[in-house]
Structure 1
Amino acid sequence: MKGEREGMGLEKDQAEVKEPGKGQSEMEELYLSYKGYAFSIAYRLLGVVADAEDAVQDSFMELQRRGLGGIENLKAYLAKSITNRCLNQLQSARSRRETYIGEWLPEPLIEAYDSPEAAAERNDTLSYAFLVLLERFTPVERAVFVLREVFEYDYESIADMVDKSAAACRQIFSRASRNFKAAFSAEQGGAAAGPSRTVLLKRFTAAFEAYDVGAMLELLAEQPVLIADGGGQEVHTILRPMAGQRGVLALLTSHRVLRELRSWQSEIVRINGEPNLLFRQDGEVAGMLCLEFTGDKIQQLYLIVEPDKLRTFG
C-alpha cells in the first residue's frame, strides 16, 4: 500500500516551491503547489469530496491569516491543519450517520480530481475498497493509519497532529494495521492475477443486462458482499448489505430488484483510480457501481445512487 511515497514525504518542504509568477501572489503559488497534497489527505480522512475541499480551503485561509513566519515545513503544517479539521468533521459526522437511511458509503472520486502530484496515487490506498474499510475505524485511528501508512509520517509528527503521545500513536497504528490487513485479506483474497478489470467489467455488464444467471454465477466469488447507498432520497435501493453468493446472485439477476439500473446507459470510467461502472439516465449521472475483484471473481459490489454523492460526476 506504500506506492505513493515520492512527492508525499516530509523531505519536500516549502523550499522547493517555485518563485511566485508574474501577477501571482506567494500564497496563490503555495495553494497551487500544495492543494493536491492537502486534498489527498482530507479525502482519505473524510470520504466526501466537498468536505475535503472545504477543509483544504479553510486550512489555506488560516495560513494566509497567520503568514508563513516560523513554519519550517509547510507540508507538515498543512497536514496537521487538515488533520485537525477532519477529526472535528468526523466526530460530528458519526452522530449524523447514525440516523442515515440505509448504508453510508464514501463519495467516489473521479479522474478529474487527480492533480499532477496525486497522479502517483494509482494503488489500493485510493481504491474504493480502501475507503470503505477505513469507515470501520474511529476518527483518531483513521487519521493515524492514513498519515502513517499512506504518507509515511513518523510517529512524533503524527502525535503532534492528533494530540497523542508518539507511543500511543504507535500502538494505535499497530492495532489498526492488524485489523485493516485482516479485513483487507478476507475481503480481497490476495488479489490473484486474472483478466483485466475492463474485461471483467464488460462480462459483468453483459450478464447483468441479460439476467444471465450462469454467466453471473461464474463471476461471483463464494462469499460476495453487495452494499448499496441511496440515502433515502426517493431512490429505491437495498437498505442492508447482502452477503453470500446465493443472495447476491438473486439480487443481480432479479427482474424486480435493480430493474431501474438496467434501463440506464452504462459506461466504464476511472473512479478512485480504477475502471468502474457509471450509469446515466437521459445523459445525467444516476449511479455508480464499484466492483472489487479477487482474480476473476467479484468479491465486493458498492452501488451508489444517492444524488448528493454523484454531484461531482456531472
Structure 2
Amino acid sequence: MTDEFEALRPLLLGLAYRMLGSMWDAEDVVQEAYLRWLRTDREEVREPRAFLATVVSRLALDQLRSARVTREAYPGPWLPEPVATDAAGPLDTAELRDTLSYATLHLMERLTPPERAVFVLRDAFEMPYEQVAEVVGVSAATCRQTHRRALGHLAAARNRGRPSREEHERLLTRFLDAAAGGDLAALKELLSADITAWSDGGGKVTAARRPVVGLDKVAAFILGLTSRYEISWARVVDANGQPAVLLASGAEEQLALADVHEGRIHALYIVRNPDKLQRVG
C-alpha cells in the first residue's frame, strides 16, 4: 500500500498545491490522505488514483474554506507560495503547466473554494464532472455551471499568449539590469501601461501593503526599492514552470515573478515573506 501511495504522491501534491496555493498546506493534506489510505480496506478501492485524488481534493477544499478567513486578515496582499517547478508534480499536459503558472494561481484567489476546486479538477486533472460533483457535493450540472463561471473569471489572463522560456528569461534579465542601474527609461520600456505590482512581506519584512498600479507608479516603486536596498546577488531560478529572479539585499531574500506577454511585464509579484521562500532556489 505504501509503494502505491508513494508512486502517486507527486501527482497528489501537485493537485493539493494548485487548490491551496501553499505547498506547506498541500503537504499536510497529502499526509492526512496517506494516513487515511493506510486505514482503507484495499479491496474496496477499484482505482487508487481516482480514490486518492478524491480524498485529497475533499481535504484541500475543507482547508481552502478555512484558509480564506486567515488570508483576509493577512497583513498586505497574500500571494501564493512559489515552488521549484520540479516539486509540483507532473507537467505532462499544457493544462497542468498553465495551472501551475504563478499568474494563474494568483488569479485563482478570486474564485470561491468550489469554483477553484472545480476548475483545478476539471482543467488540470481532467476529472469527469460526475466525480467532481462528488468531491464538491453538488450535481454534475451545477459543476458545469461552476466551471463556466471559473473560466470566465480567469479568461482574460489565460487567453494571453505566453513567451518562450528564453524570451521570458531575457526580459527578466533586462528588467533586473534596468532596475539595478536606476535606468527609468529602460525600465518603462519593459512594463505595460496597466501593470500592477504586488508585494508580500507577511508582516515579517517590509512590503507594500497595497498593490501598486500603473506604469509610472510601478517604475517609481521598483527604483525606490533598488535605491534603498542594494542588491548583493541575484540569479534566475525555475519557479512555477517559468523563470523567476531570486535576489538578496543584505540578509533579506526575495523572489520576483512576472506575467509576461507581447514583450512586456503586465503583472509583477514580489515575494518577500521568508516563510514562502523555502521551496525555491
Deviates more, 1:36-45 or 1:68-77: 68-77
Distance 1:182 1:305, change over 3 A: same
Report the counterpart of residue 87 of structure 1 in structure 2: 61
Report the counterpart of residue 253 of structure 2 in structure 1: 286
Pairing 1:229–2:200 present: yes
Structure 2: gaps of 5 or more residues: none
Secondary structure of the 1:145 match is helix
Alpha carbons 1:193, 1:295 under 8 Å: kept = no
RMSD over equivalenced CA pairs, Å: 2.1
Report the counterpart of residue 5 of structure 2 in structure 1: 31
Q: Flag the structure with higher helix content.
A: 2
TM-score normalised per structure 1: 0.83
How far the C-alpha of 1:258 sits from its partner, in A, is: 4.9
Report the counterpart of residue 273 of structure 2 in structure 1: 306
How far the C-alpha of 1:197 sits from its partner, in A, is: 1.3
TM-score normalised per structure 2: 0.93
Distance 1:70 1:261, change over 3 A: farther
Structure 1: gaps of 5 or more residues: 1-26
Query: Residues 123-142 of structure 1 correspond to what in structure 2 (within 5 A)?
Result: 123-142=97-116
Report the counterpart of residue 82 of structure 2 in structure 1: 108
CA distance in 2, matches of 1:153, 1:248: 40
Alpha carbons 1:225, 1:299 under 8 Å: kept = yes
How far the C-alpha of 1:114 sits from its partner, in A, is: 4.4
Alpha carbons 1:103, 1:227 under 8 Å: kept = yes
Deviates more, 1:139-148 or 1:192-201: 192-201
Query: Residues 1-314 of structure 1 correspond to what in structure 2 (within 5 A)?
Result: 27-115=1-89, 117-118=90-91, 123-185=97-159, 189-191=160-162, 196-233=167-204, 235-254=205-224, 257-259=225-227, 261-280=229-248, 286-313=253-280
CA distance in 1, matches of 2:88, 2:66: 27
Alpha carbons 1:224, 1:299 under 8 Å: kept = yes
Alpha carbons 1:285, 1:310 under 8 Å: kept = no
Alpha carbons 2:75, 2:203 under 8 Å: kept = yes
CA distance in 2, matches of 1:297, 1:279: 21
State the AA in 2 paired with 1:167.
Answer: A
- Quick one: percent identity of the two aligned structures? 36
Deviates more, 1:64-73 or 1:202-211: 64-73
Show CA shifts across 1:132-169 (max 9, x none): 01100011110001111111111101011111111110
Distance 1:267 1:148, change over 3 A: same
